[in-house]
Amino acid sequence: MLKQEQLRLMSGDDAIAQSVKQCDVDLIAAYPITPQTIIVERLSEYAARKEMDAEYVAVESEHSALSACIGGSLAGARVFTSTSSQGLALMHEVMYIAAGLRTPIVMAVVNRALSAPLNIHGDHSDMMGSRDCGWAQIFCENAQEAYDRVIQAYRLAEDPNVLLPVAVNIDGFVVSHCYEPVAIMDDNLVKAYLPRRERPRIDYEKPATFGSYALPNAYFESKVEQEKALIRAGEVFEDVYKNYPEERGRIGKMRIDWKDEKISVICMGSTAGTIRHTIKHMKIDGVSLVSLRLFSPFPKKEIVDAVSNSEVLVVMDRALSPGAASPPLASNVKATLYDADLRIPVVSVVYGLGGREATMSMIDNLLREVKEDLAARRLRSRQVYLGLREDVL
C-alpha cells in the first residue's frame, strides 16, 4: 500500500522532470518548445537549486541540444533532452547520428502536430516522422507511466546489449499539462535499479574512434548491426519492466483488456484510456483493447498473440502518412499479420490530428458500426477518418 506522502499531484511534464532528477543525470541540454517547456523549466530549477548534480546547458536550438547530448554521452555522461513537434523535426538529422554512434540518450517527446498550418496541440505526427531513425520508442497513457517509463528508458538504453537512444512519448496537453496523482519512488530504489555501467566512451588512456567515415565496404554492415541492437532492445525490455521496483510499472510491451474478443482495437497513448472507459461504461461487449507501449522495436510476436483470435481489427493512428498505403501503426500491424499468414480485415482509423480528441460518442459510434458490419458479414479492410467534418469527407 502506498503511503500518502508518496503520492504527488503532478502533470505529465512535471512527472518526467521528477524522474530525470532521480535518475542521477549528469547533463541536460534542451531548448524550450510548447508543450514540452515545463520539463526543462523544472530541470533548470532543480539544477540551479542544487537539487541534482547535473550540468544544464542552454543551447540555441533543438539541433544543438541533441548534438550536445551526443558529445556528453560519448564522454560517459548520463544525459537527457526533450522536445516536441518542429523541435523534433529540427533534430531529425542528429537523431540518425545518435543511434549510429550507439549513444544511450533518453529523450522525452511531448507529441504535438507539425506545421503547416501552425498547431500547438497533440498528435503523433512528430514522432512518426522520425520512426526510422533507429531509436527505441515508448508511448505512455498517463503521467504515472511517463514517470515510470523514463526511469526504465535509462536501464534499456544503457544495457550493454542495446546502447541505443530511447524516446519516451506523451500526448501534448492531455498528458503533459493535465494533473493527476503520481506515485514517486524513493531515490535509493531508483539508484539501485539504475547502476552505472561501463561502456565505450572517449578516454585518452584507452583511445577509440567514434563517427569515422564508412566506405561502401563497411556502411551496410554497420547499419545491420544497429538494427540487430534495436531488435535486442525488445528482448531486453522484458528484463527492464519485470525487474522494476514497483509492480505498477511492470506493464510490458502492451496492455490487453478483454482479450480474445471478435473485435480488437489497437492504439497508443492517452486515447487508450478513453477507449477503455467507453467500452466499459457504454457496455460494448465483444471488443478487446490492445494499448501498445513499445512501438519500436515493433512487438510483432506479441501483437499476433493478442489478436490472432479476432475477426476484425480497428487500428487507431494519431498521424497520417500522406501517399503511403496505410498510416504508421496500421502499416506495421498489416505487415505483421501478413508475415504471420493471418488474413484479418483491418479498419484503419486516423483520428485526433491537431488535438481534436476522440470523444466517447465518436468511439462508441465507431465500434457499434464495426459490430454491425461484423454481424452482417460485411467485413473489409477500409480507411476511416474519425471526427472529420462531413463537408471534407
CB 30 within 8 A of CB 82: yes
Q: What's the whole-number mean pLDDT along residues 199-204?
A: 89
Query: Are the CB atoms for 256 and 289 separated by under 8 Å?
Result: yes
Q: Dihedral, CA atoms, 150, 131, 80, 267, nearest 10 degrees?
A: -20
Least confident of 5-19, 149-163, 171-185, 225-239: 5-19
The domains of the chain, with CATH numbers, are 4-248 (3.40.50.970), 254-385 (3.40.50.920)
Query: pLDDT confidence of 393, banded at 50, 70, 90?
Result: low
HSE-up (13 A, CA, CB side) for residue 20: 32
Q: Output the pLDDT for position 204.
A: 86
- Give residue 389's pLDDT: 85
Query: Cα separation of 10 and 282, whole Å?
Result: 29
Output the pLDDT for position 390.
Answer: 77
Residue 299: is the preceding peptide bond cis (ω within 30°)? no
Quickly tell me which residue has 460485411 as its cell: 378
Indicate the burial class of 223 (C-beta count within 10 angstroms; 0-12, 13-18, 19 or more): middle
Percent of the chain with pLDDT over 90: 94
**Residue 191 DSSP SS3:** helix
Is pLDDT of 126 > 70?
yes
Contact 194, 261 (CB under 8 A): no
The pLDDT of residue 105 is above 80: yes
| 260 pLDDT more than 50 | yes
* Type of residue numbered 206: K
The closest alpha carbon to 162, from 105, 219, 220, 241, belongs to 105
Report how far residue 13's alpha carbon sits from residue 17's, in angstroms, rounded to the nearest whole number.
6
The set of residues, in sequence order, having a beta carbon less than 8 Å from that of 295 and lying 6+ positions away, is: 131, 137, 138, 139, 268, 329, 332
Q: What is the mean pLDDT of residues 76-95?
A: 98
Structure confidence at residue 4 as a pLDDT band (50, 70, 90): very low
Q: What confidence tier does 206 reach under pLDDT thresholds 50, 70, 90?
A: confident
In tens, the pLDDT along 58-74 reads 999 999 999 999 999 99
Q: What is the β-pairing status of strands 179-183 and 254-257?
A: unpaired
Contact status, residue 322 vs residue 285, Cβ threshold 8 Å: no
| β-pairing verdict for 254-257 and 294-296 | unpaired
pLDDT in tens, 325-360: 999 999 999 999 999 999 999 999 999 999 999 999
Q: pTM to 2 decimals? A: 0.97
For 187-215, what is the mean pLDDT?
92
Angstrom CA distances, 307 to 283, 316, 332, stand at 21, 15, 14
- Residue pair 97/191 in contact (Cβ under 8 Å)? The answer is no
